[in-house]
Structure 1
Amino acid sequence: MIEEQASRTAVLVCQGRAVGDGRVGVGRFSDPVAAQLLQGEERQAVERARSGSAPRQWRERMHYEMLNATSAVLVTRTVVIDEAVRSAGNPQLVVLGAGLDARAWRMSELSGAVVFEVDHPASQQDKRQRVDSLEPVCKSLTYVPVDFGRDELGPALAAAGHDQASPTTWIWEGVLPYLTHAEAEATLLAVAERSAEGSRLIATYPMPNRLAALGRRGMQVYSRLTGAKDPLENERHVSAWSPEQMRSLLAAHGLTVTSNVDLFATSRDLSIPARQSRFYGLGYAVVADKLGG
């Protein structure tokens, strides 16, 4: 992400959750806060997508379809992550690349947890303006500004009050595609060093796909046709992993994979109308725990 520019992807992710609230994955997914974090046209686009009535005008129709497709992906992975957070029940939660994540405002299970949101300073400034007077439901919330390509995560968390001796749940949602393997390794090193026994990492990641560049090109074409901003213009996907590579990567940092979830299969189990194509997939959500010796 370009320095001093807030993430457009974060807005799209928030819109996807807002579109799905009360409509998709009912009983397993809920995010009534997402819409409150959106502004102006961002929220109006969500309202059109939620209407269930596809616009006749083709540009609006394309945006309508894109937001509903995004919602299916976001709801699926949110269900998997939220349930892994609940089952861990750790006293600390760190959200890496938090964007417009609303868990600190919507998950009552975090009432006794200390939450740390880590993100690029520009995105964090935008987030803080959007949450405005909303009150978190967690025990406490601390913002930790970090540029993952330049700053050291460990010292930043330590300075923010993260307790290295207490079990932590880490959420790494939708971030890995934007990191080089070296940057991912650096982040994992800090996570491992600050993970007490009982800690858990939940991460989403894409599979290698030789046709992914065509899907990326499709997003560029869509943006030109609709006159919308390309959410990935300054946030390029630079890496992907196979489940075997991810398992080895986490094992090298003392984390044992306890679940590796195919998100497309999960969407079908949840009766969520997610789409799978040759150009892109929903990817995987991996849960890895710091087990005792």
Structure 2
Amino acid sequence: MAERKASRTAVLVCQGRAVADGRMAVGRFSDPVAVELLTAPERVLVEQVRSGVAPQVFGDRIEYGLLSGVSETLATRTVTIDDALRDRGNTQLVILGAGLDARAWRMKELADATVFEVDQPASQQDKRQRLGERTLLAGSVRFVPVDFATDSLDAALAAAGHDTTRATTWIWEGVVNYLTREQIAATAAVVAARSAPGSRFIITYPAPSVRNTLGRRIVRPLWALARRQNPIADEPMRSTWTPERMRELLDANGFEVVTDIDQLTVAQELDLAVERGPFLRSGRIVVADRI
């Protein structure tokens, strides 16, 4: 992940949630805060995709297609994560790589919870400016700035007041694919060390997919041809995981897998008409509880 500037990917994810709000999985997915965190120029593409009318200009069409696909991803994984979060009801929530996540401002179920948002300092500064004086629905939120290249996640959480004697729900959404296996293992070890019995670990991760790997390679020159900035160009895919390997990682850190589901299955259960089924099939969400 880009470490010394606000994340463009965080904006893309926020735009995806804004596109999906009120249009996908209505009654199960809702994020009315997302659009309010976007600047006026960032909302233009959101409204274009929500209209369902693809633009004619080549570069605009590429941006339209990317955001349309992201919205399908965000709707399916957000429903699954939010359900798992509500089901556990822990009073500590740690969001690793929080970006422009709005759960603390949109989920009334967090009224008794302390939310720890972990992210790069520049990204957190950008988010706090976007939030302004927005009303918090969570009991409290603590921003935990961590430069993952130099800082200790364990020390940063301890300094922020995270209590290792209380059960915690951990959300690691849309981050694993940008990290090496060594980085993932190191973070999982910190999570394990700080998780009391009853804690829950929710992770989204990419399964191996030749189709998706080729697709990412093919689309790169298209961005250049369109003279547009690829929002994920600086965040290359660094690891993929089979469900078996993910289970081994969680088992080794004292977590027992409760569910591990692909996002296409989620979309089908939600009766969503999606255009990027193969891409969704390779995206997975695992929920594991502290043994």
- TM-score normalized with structure 1 length: 0.94
Q: How does 1:202-217 map to 2 (within 5 A)?
A: 202-217=202-217
Corresponding residue of 1:9: 9
What corresponds to 2:277 in structure 1?
Answer: 276
Q: What CA distance in whole angstroms lies between the structure 2 residues aligned with 1:60 and 1:229?
A: 11
Partner of 1:78: 78
Q: Residues 153-196 of structure 1: CA distance to partner in whole angstroms, max 9, x if unpaired?
A: 11110000111100100000011011111111111111001101
Q: Name the stretch that deviates more: 235-244 or 142-151.
A: 142-151
Instruction: Give the 3-state SS of the residue equivalent to 2:136 in structure 1.
Output: coil
Cα deviation, residue 37, structure 1: 0.9
CA distance in 2 between counterparts of 1:172 and 1:39 reads 25
1:242 aligned partner: 242
Q: What displacement does 1:263 show?
A: 1.0
Going from structure 1 to structure 2, the CA distance change for 1:169 and 1:28 (only over 3 Å counts) comes to same
Q: SS state of the match for residue 52, structure 2?
A: coil
Percent identity between the two aligned chains? 54
How far is the alpha carbon of 1:42 from its aligned partner?
1.1
The residue aligned with 1:49 is 49
Partner of 2:158: 158
Name the SS for the 1:205 alignment partner.
strand
Equivalent position amino acid for 2:263 in 1 = L
Deviations 1:215-236 (A, max 9, x none): 2223423422443321222111
- After superposition, the CA RMSD in angstroms is 1.6
Residues 218 and 281 of structure 1: CA distance in aligned 2, closer, same or farther (over 3 Å): farther
Q: Which moved more, 1:144-153 or 1:19-28?
A: 144-153
**Aligned counterparts of 2:65 and 2:208: Cα–Cα separation in 1:** 25
- After TM superposition, the score normalised by the length of structure 2 is 0.95
Aligned pairs for 1:76-225 (under 5 A) are 76-225=76-225
Report the AA paired with residue 259 of structure 2.
Answer: S
Rounded to whole Å, the distance in 2 between the matches of 1:11 and 1:219 is 20
Rounded Cα–Cα distance in structure 2 between residues aligned with 1:147 and 1:140: 23
Q: Give 1:273 shift.
A: 2.9
Please give the secondary structure, in 2, of the residue aligned with 1:161. Answer: coil
- Once the two structures are overlaid, the 10-residue window that deviates more, 7-16 or 62-71, is 62-71
Paired residues of 1:204 and 1:285 also in contact (CA < 8 A): yes
Task: Name 2:23's counterpart in structure 1.
Answer: 23
Rounded Cα–Cα distance in structure 1 between residues aligned with 2:138 and 2:26? 23
2:35 alignment partner, SS class? helix
Check conservation: 2:76, 2:266, Cα contact below 8 A. Answer: yes
Q: Which residue type is aligned with residue 39 of structure 1? A: T
| Separation in 2, partners of 1:17, 1:207 | 22
